Amino acid sequence: MNKDSGELKEYQPLLKDFKEPPQQIKVPSKSLLLAVWAAGIGGTFQYGYNISIINAPTKAVQNFINQTWTERYNTEISTQVLTLLWSTIVSIFTLGGLVGASVGGTLAIRFGRKGTLLFNNTFALLAAFFMGLSYPASSFELLIVGRFLTGVNAGIAICVQPLYIGEIAPRALRGAMAMGTSIFITGGILTGQVIGLNELLGKEAYWPILLSTICIPAIMQLLTLPWFPESPRYLLIDRGDDVACRKALMWFHGPDKYHGEKEDMETERISALGIKPKKPWELFTDTSLRWQLLTLFMIHTFQQLNGINAIYFYADYVFNQAGIPANKIPYATVGTGACECITALTCGLLIESLGRRALIIGGYTLMSVCCVCFTITLTFQESSPWVPYLSMVCVFAFILSFGLGPGGVTNILTTELFTQTDRAAAYMIGGSINWMAFFFIGMIFPFIVNGLKQYCFLVFLVICCLVATYIFFVVPETKNKTFLEIQNEFHSKKKLVAANGQHKTPEFTKLNPMQKVPVLDDNGFVLTESDAILKYLATTYNVPDHWYPKLPEKRARVDEYAAWHHVIFPMMGQLKNDAKFEKALRDLDGTLDMLENMFLKRQAFLCGDDISLADLLAVCEIMQPMCSGRDILKDRPKLLSWRSRVQSALSDSFDEAHSVVYQIKQKLSAKL
């Protein structure tokens, strides 16, 4: 806490007729864009790149396995064993991804977002070494090890890179900047498809070089990312390093534009006081996060199960039916990768204007329509020469819809639905769900296609409709909101009834026969009285410990003040007679003396060095006389400083809670 000559920091003017909002950053700085590139090239780019490059050398690697087996055992490998080994090489990637996602959040907390991304390149370099060495060493086992390590690298990257980008991005550009995750994934897929063409590294003799090229993005990140700062939000909230946070913000946003972001971080830091970063299993025991966790499960599971894999499976068949020669189909496949990459870029341009909800709901809705159309065109594929071209349109339309919706928005929502202490654990859960769903669809997809043929898209139709409906009814819009505001949106079902005339209605009287506010209705549990409501919320939901401490001695101090509160404060709001009101103001002087000399004698807040429920109760009473144009703290610098600290701790919530007081004061000033 700042001190000047032994006194607490000077009081800053509390009331302003017009409050200018902090300047919001509308255009990302060059430093910010370069940081996103440095994080992405060795991050989710590797995920997309490793998914696609394994397709080109399929025949070459299978020939290598057959040749190695023959040299070892003097017999040709059976078809079943060859298929098993090839499937292991391909699918071990998902197992590595699951391992990486399971540890990524923990590494991000311990070593930082940037530190984890740099360390993660170790896995990519080792994987490139093992896969490149597999051919001269005549060991297909090294391919399995290398693919597992690439999976670990991708799992950590897809967990930590969105954390880093989401935390360095300014609030007004968070969605567009976070689209870097999807842009780099699709860019990696497209790059892998292009590099795998015969004109480049797609020839059979080049497959060890092709699989070893994953070292290039890793080296590029190792050369570039160290020049950029750590996540400012991580530095401030997790490490408590205010100086490093300020330097990082100035680096990313410039010395004259970072203040608004710093205020948001300070608010979240104060809210997180006393709360340590959570482990994944701790999120499941927190009832206040159940809707966020359910949303996390829905969007990550169905991102893999929405039919995009089926579209790519049928793409070659559709292109062949449309008359594209077999040797030209890889170029058409590159077209699908380019389509997905372009839609990711387009989503980045639209997300801050249309919002997250519109894009993801619209994406799933359009995918539902495409599922119906694709089922029809595949059913009548050979009935007319123009039907295959309609199928091609459906392929590209589905990819466009996926890129604009779930492909682009899912990772952004994971960042925005959780606050700093929960976010790393949430990414571990979301990443694990994603990889398990990836593995699950890889296992069951052949059976779905073989059993249902083109009608498998009716299953995906139901899934797309289900997710769109869930998001429409449950998930709030997160565009241009702070993380705390988004969290409060999910908690809005816990209704606090306001004094706008409702307290006289029969419905309200059933809740509180005394017809007084406030009243809390928490899913049928009704509670009255501010003191009781605040303590109930503090003990029932996940709030920082400083509000109502668990330590008996500290909690007793809050209870002590609450017991005094109703005795020492006159009922200012109920005095309509001017003479009685003036007498109450005189009596209030004794109360204010008690606050200064007893509760604020040697501490910043009423019950200690951290804000608590006691400060909320007191400041609301002290603000009420302002309705008559009086500031009862005008000649009390100690109480003025205390009120300023309370306002700083509550940020925008302070003015929102006292908006009615400000309005009445303004109307009274206008009349005078």
Write out pLDDT tens, residues 566-598.
544 444 444 445 566 566 666 677 778 888 888
Q: Is the peptide bond prior to 518 cis by the omega test (within 30 degrees of 0)? A: yes
pLDDT-derived band at 3 (thresholds 50, 70, 90) equals very low
pLDDT at 430 exceeding the cut of 90: no
pLDDT-derived band at 518 (thresholds 50, 70, 90) equals confident
The last residue of one of the domains, among 500, 531, 563, is 500
- Residue 336's nearest CA partner among 391, 395, 386 is 395
Do residues 160 and 269 share a domain?
Answer: no
**More confident call, 405 vs 660:** 405
Residue 396: the pLDDT is: 86
327 located within any domain: no
Residue 7: the pLDDT is: 40
**More confident call, 501 vs 452:** 452
How many domains does one find in the chain?
4
Residue 582: the pLDDT is: 63
Residue 578: the pLDDT is: 59
Mean local confidence (pLDDT), 481-504: 61
Question: What percent of the chain has pLDDT above 90?
Answer: 15
Q: What is the pTM of this model?
A: 0.67
Q: Are 121 and 197 in contact (CB under 8 A)?
A: no
Lowest mean pLDDT among 71-75, 308-312, 389-393: 308-312
Do residues 104 and 222 share a domain?
Answer: yes
The last residue of one of the domains, among 500, 535, 555, is 500
pLDDT at 217 exceeding the cut of 60: yes
- Residue 365's nearest CA partner among 269, 470, 263, 266 is 470
46 located within any domain: yes
The last residue of one of the domains, among 448, 468, 500, is 500
pLDDT-derived band at 87 (thresholds 50, 70, 90) equals confident
Do residues 115 and 31 share a domain?
Answer: yes
Mean local confidence (pLDDT), 619-640: 75
Do residues 293 and 403 share a domain?
Answer: yes
pLDDT-derived band at 1 (thresholds 50, 70, 90) equals very low
318 located within any domain: no
Residue 573: the pLDDT is: 44
Residue 45: the pLDDT is: 92
Do residues 290 and 215 share a domain?
Answer: no
- Residue 121's nearest CA partner among 109, 134, 110, 107 is 107
Instruction: Report which DSSP code applies to 307.
Output: S
Tokens coding 236? 């401030």
Do residues 289 and 429 share a domain?
Answer: yes
pLDDT, tens digit, for every residue of 160-190? Answer: 998 898 888 887 777 777 788 888 988 998 8
513 located within any domain: no
pLDDT at 6 exceeding the cut of 50: no
Q: Cα–Cα distance between 464 and 363 in angstroms, integer? A: 9
9 located within any domain: no
What rounded mean pLDDT belongs to the chain?
80
Do residues 611 and 469 share a domain?
Answer: no
Residue 114: the pLDDT is: 93
What is the residue-wise DSSP string for 555-602?
HHHHHHHHHHHHHHS--GGG--SHHHHHHHHHHHHHHHHHIIIIISSS
Structural domain span for residue 390 = 280-308+346-500
Q: Which of 148-162, 369-383, 389-403 has the highest mean pLDDT?
A: 148-162
Residue 667: the pLDDT is: 62
Q: Cα–Cα distance between 302 and 304 in angstroms, integer? A: 5
Do residues 186 and 57 share a domain?
Answer: yes
Do residues 103 and 159 share a domain?
Answer: yes
Do residues 563 and 414 share a domain?
Answer: no
Tokens coding 594? 């008690």
Mean local confidence (pLDDT), 464-490: 83
Mean local confidence (pLDDT), 65-70: 90
Question: What percent of the chain has pLDDT above 70?
Answer: 81
Domain CATH number, residue 462? 1.20.1250.20
**More confident call, 63 vs 442:** 63
139 located within any domain: yes
Q: Are 190 and 337 in contact (CB under 8 A)?
A: yes
Residue 585: the pLDDT is: 62
Residues in the chain, total: 672
Q: Looking at this protein, which amino acid is placed at residue 641?
A: S
Give CA angle at 289 (285, 291), nearest 5°: 120
Do residues 47 and 79 share a domain?
Answer: yes
374 located within any domain: yes
Residue 497: the pLDDT is: 46
6 located within any domain: no
Maximum distance among all Cα pairs of the chain, rounded to whole angstroms: 109
Using CB atoms within 10 A of its CB, is residue 653 exposed (0-12), middle (13-18) or buried (19+)? Answer: middle
Do residues 220 and 242 share a domain?
Answer: no
Q: For residues 64, 67, 70 and 76, what is the CA-based torsion angle, rounded to 10 degrees?
A: 90
Residue 499: the pLDDT is: 45
